[in-house]
Structure 1
Amino acid sequence: MTAALSSVSSVSFGDVVHVPVHFDDLDAMGMLHNSRYAVLVERAISLWWAERGVSFAGGRPTTPDAFNVVREYGITFNRPVLGTGNVTVHFWLEKLGTSSATYRFRVTSTDGETVYAEGRRVNVRLDPATMRPSPWTDHARTLATTILQPS
């Protein structure tokens, strides 16, 4: 589990990160706005990689693998998040391709009992010079195997 924001609940694969829901994340009805779920997932996954040295510093990627983009994003909303406070993002890799990574995720209550939303996200590593897909490094592959869903 991520050191800075670990969850009390344990997961058998992937990792969990607690992410705060702020007042400005809410819609007029006091619910987490649908567009903010993607932000929470982004923050959780980005934090996980940053704690392992894959991030941006001074506007530049710290490793070639930090230069990646979201290609696909799909989500199913099950129950609304009401108000502010922490939620938990449980995420894992379903598949690691040559230049792509398919994540699955669940946004849950901090005790893991309520699943607010679940979905899928595909990232693609790009070569910054050509902006074309580029293979993940061996370093990223080693890190990624720690959150890869067992077959």
Structure 2
Amino acid sequence: MKRSLLLYGIVFSVLINIFQFVNSSNILKRSEEVSTISKKELKKAQDTIAKLRDNDTFSLATNENAQEYYFEYDVKALQTKVKEDLTAFNADKKGNKYVSYDQIGDNPFLINNIKILNHRWIIANFSDGKVWGEVLLKYFHNADKPTEFETVETLIYQETLN
């Protein structure tokens, strides 16, 4: 009787060990598959991001025709100056004057992000903390004077309730 119990115990422990070995092998194989799939998806995402960066057609930084207009200037320094000149108008208590909307709430409209599209156009977004919008501007760079701006079109998005 003791021998049969010992034999059953050994057989049972061998079966448990076989089960754990097979299960662990399957888990390891599946984790390797998931890792391989994740690496492929990461590579695909990185390629897409690189393509989008390379295909940034609407940017002074990548538009050679627009850069030729400023052949005598350092384009990066020019972009910095234009952005600084535009955001300097945020200091006004009534908000940035190139946002053609009057103050709606407690805060004035201020320009947040700016993208210089070419040698003549800028698109920027603005907000008062609750309401958001975008503005299309013409700009005229002057070497010795502040940059001149002209609002072409402005749009405001409907306030969303959170």
TM-score of the alignment, normalized to the shorter chain, above 0.5:
no
- Higher helix share goes to which structure? 2
User: Rg: which structure is higher?
Assistant: 2
The two structures have a TM-score, normalised by structure 1, of 0.30
Which of the pair has the greater relative contact order for Cα pairs under 8 Å at 6+ separation?
A: 1
TM-score by length of 2: 0.28
